[in-house]
Chains A and B, each alone.
Chain A
């Protein structure tokens, strides 16, 4: 933890040391992007956090002692454009997306110098998207560090699904798809390749992958692939010809077989 704190202070310190480079860069970006914005000394307003988790407040203490400001950005989406941005956020009359390297906490009051940029993102997600891209680029943050709901709102999930879905989930899905494809290979006549992708649309679509030979008796039977390997493994319970079952599976679909087995029990 101490190592990460040191690294953080060093990185942020370097960013700030060039006469508050981040603030200046932000001002330039906002002016060039045509944003309406105001800069106010003070902590950020309550709102939706743009990052999943910011650094804990104690990591900022040393920076604060050295006199560097803590910069926050509040992207304000308000309905009533007559209300000032800051007030709209504080009075709860707008949705405010808040970014900050360090999570603001009351104990930093008086010790740190917070500055909040209130940026009007109006009714366009483009404005918020550009701001998010700017933050990601200048702070060297991976998408995985961002709040996934905010990424979805901005539309980045469609552009970069890896940013929204964890790698673990994606790998798991690929693994399942591979297994399904491998299971289908010996049966080229099956035409439900589209369903193998898992887009279970419509009744029974999800059950297209059901191992027909898995007994539907609810007493827990191991979930591993008992199906393709051998219906002959459980002859006393099923007493149905595996060849007929295979043909039924091909012609009538998995659900048909499932129902037959349920009825047969």
Chain B
């Protein structure tokens, strides 16, 4: 009896394993229209999300991506005439949406591996990467609607136009065709109205705390930071290099070890004892 049961169990195990092996078999053609080469590619273990491709600071690339990733990136970028880290960073910042094709052969693993793989398949988180602490501003900016992070420029505008229209129409009002593939920072800097750029003078935390239709403006603060520094705030915070623009931004620096709900409002009164 027991003997029969054990044979039955063994058979089940075998079948289950067989089935799972079939289930996990990778399809020959990937989901998006970009076919990603897999053989012979080096695995890279980044410590940061793909937004670093818009971060013009080679030091951050070294620290957060590591040389294993950078070498894999350089290997792929040889095709476009890039041969060292500085030129790779320049290329990436000046043509973010083309990087998906450039990096198509790199294999990723680790904590952020899934996010990078998804990016290569054309899927990327749209919202702000940095959750700024919040302060009371007492003002609303319902006329401003930018809920897309600059990191979303890593996907081609032609493919994501609908999302931009829906979630960042303030940007499209001034820049009808976001040049995600060629010097986007230069064009956006020139075309974004000074009135919006000037908001950063009151501090990124203040900008992020502005409310537009009951949503905070973290993404707008990210845009302003990126336009001012060509770097992304959440990566600068990771690196300990966040650059405040107003006294209120010191909240970001003092909040590095913030415990609690991310994005929860912190009012100035809460910070008085710090």
Q: Which interface residue of B37, B104, B229 has the most chain A CB atoms within 10 A?
A: B37
A92 near B187: Cβ-Cβ < 8 Å:
no
B35 near A148: Cβ-Cβ < 8 Å:
no
B186 near A157: Cβ-Cβ < 8 Å:
no
A153 near B194: Cβ-Cβ < 8 Å:
no
The residue in chain B whose Cβ has the minimal distance to the Cβ of A124 is B79
A169 near B176: Cβ-Cβ < 8 Å:
yes
Q: Which of A186-194, A217-225, A233-241 contacts B (4 or more CB under 8 A)?
A: A217-225
Out of B39, B41, B185, B199, name the residue touching A200 (CB < 8 Å).
B185
Give CA–CA (A248, B246) in the complex, Å: 19
Give CA–CA (A126, B245) in the complex, Å: 45
User: Do A200 and B189 form a contact, CB below 8 Å, given A92-B36, A211-B194, A214-B195?
Assistant: yes
A220 near B194: Cβ-Cβ < 8 Å:
no
B contact set with A: CB distance below 8 Å: 27-30, 33-41, 78-81, 95, 97-98, 100-102, 104-105, 137, 139-141, 143, 156, 158, 175-177, 179, 181-182, 185-187, 189-195, 197-202, 210, 227-230, 243, 245-246
Residues on A with beta carbons closer than 8 Å to the beta carbon of B28? 90-92
B189 near A79: Cβ-Cβ < 8 Å:
no
A153 near B79: Cβ-Cβ < 8 Å:
yes
Tell me whether chain B's interface is mostly helix, strand or loop, or mixed. loop
Out of B181, B190, B210, B227, name the residue touching A157 (CB < 8 Å).
B181
Task: Please tell me if A93 contacts chain B, counting CB pairs below 8 Å.
Answer: yes
Task: Please tell me if A209 contacts chain B, counting CB pairs below 8 Å.
Answer: yes
B179 near A169: Cβ-Cβ < 8 Å:
yes
Give CA–CA (A209, B39) in the complex, Å: 51
B86: shortest Cβ distance to chain A, in Å?
A: 15
Residues on A with beta carbons closer than 8 Å to the beta carbon of B36? 92, 95
A75: shortest Cβ distance to chain B, in Å?
A: 12
User: Do A45 and B98 form a contact, CB below 8 Å, given A155-B80, A155-B81, A164-B181?
Assistant: no
Give CA–CA (A205, B227) in the complex, Å: 9
User: Do A200 and B227 form a contact, CB below 8 Å, given A125-B80, A148-B156, A207-B194?
Assistant: yes
- Interface residue tally of chain A, by bracket? 35 or more
> What is the total of A-B residue contacts with beta carbons within 8 Å?
186
Give CA–CA (A241, B185) in the complex, Å: 35
Give CA–CA (A156, B198) in the complex, Å: 35
B236: shortest Cβ distance to chain A, in Å?
A: 12
A173 near B95: Cβ-Cβ < 8 Å:
no
A161 near B182: Cβ-Cβ < 8 Å:
yes
Show 12 A/B contacts (Cβ-Cβ < 8 Å), sorted by A.
Answer: A46-B30, A80-B39, A93-B38, A95-B35, A95-B105, A148-B182, A169-B187, A173-B191, A207-B197, A207-B198, A217-B139, A218-B210
Out of B187, B190, B198, name the residue touching A214 (CB < 8 Å).
B198
Q: Which of A19-27, A28-36, A47-55 contacts B (4 or more CB under 8 A)?
A: A47-55
Residues on B with beta carbons closer than 8 Å to the beta carbon of A152? 95, 97-98, 181-182
A94 near B35: Cβ-Cβ < 8 Å:
yes
Task: Please tell me if A201 contacts chain B, counting CB pairs below 8 Å.
Answer: yes
The residue in chain A whose Cβ has the minimal distance to the Cβ of B179 is A165
Task: Please tell me if A255 contacts chain B, counting CB pairs below 8 Å.
Answer: yes
B39 near A47: Cβ-Cβ < 8 Å:
no
B156 near A149: Cβ-Cβ < 8 Å:
yes
Residues on B with beta carbons closer than 8 Å to the beta carbon of A168? 176-177
Give CA–CA (A236, B34) in the complex, Å: 59
B187 near A47: Cβ-Cβ < 8 Å:
no
A46 near B198: Cβ-Cβ < 8 Å:
no
Give CA–CA (A204, B228) in the complex, Å: 6
Give CA–CA (A150, B84) in the complex, Å: 22
Give CA–CA (A209, B246) in the complex, Å: 19
